[in-house]
Amino acid sequence: MKQKNDTSLSQFLSFLLRHKPETIGLTVQTKGGWANIDELITKSRAHGTAINRETLERIVREDRKQRYSISPDGKYIRANQGHSIDVELEMEERIPPAELYHGTAARFLESIRQNGIKRMSRNYVHLSGDIPTACKVGERHGKPVVLVIDAARMAADGYLFQISANGVWQSADIPWQYVKDVVYPDTDSKN
């Protein structure tokens, strides 16, 4: 039961810290994306979601995707990536590996061919460092496909890449010309 409750609380945290802090009147700082933990706990309880510091710290510590960080002084929490609200996460700019991977659903492939990979409601396009991770991302949206991105060529053409605290590569919208290959994980065939 604890795991199911932790999953629900983690989804609630993600919703607040990445998308809609105003739902409970929570303040998320533009610089860094930090929210005060005491305020988060108090306002969550006032809006019917019971959470305490011990549970919050366990969720942050045990989250396999490392979605959250607690500040060194222990006073603040933030989501490491995936925001639709305007925050500056102070991510590390890096030269990417030659290839990165974008997982999506097969039903979106034609639109991506025409329009490129778009940030949609997020601040950045998210990219993975390996095909299995990208495949898992794509599975969340339907039958997965993995787009192989020519990150080296993008970087040479002036695109900037950042990496979040939990290892997710991020970039601006990606035109189709930088998609080197499409991997269909179910059949292991390529297009």
Integer Cα distance of 20 and 44 in angstroms: 13
Integer Cα distance of 48 and 79 in angstroms: 21
**More confident of the two residues 23 and 85:** 23
pLDDT single digits (tens) 102-136:
999 999 999 999 999 998 877 789 999 999 999 99
Categorize the per-residue pLDDT at 191 as very low, low, confident or very high, splitting at 50, 70 and 90.
Answer: very low
Residue ranges, CATH 3.20.170.30, the chain: 92-190
Residue ranges, CATH 1.10.10.970, the chain: 2-79
- What fold is seen in the domain 2-79? Arc Repressor Mutant, subunit A (1.10.10)
Residue 111 in 3-state DSSP? helix
pTM of the model: 0.66
Report the CATH architecture of 92-190. Answer: Alpha-Beta Barrel (3.20)
* Best CA proximity match to 157, nearest among 170, 175, 141, 145: 175
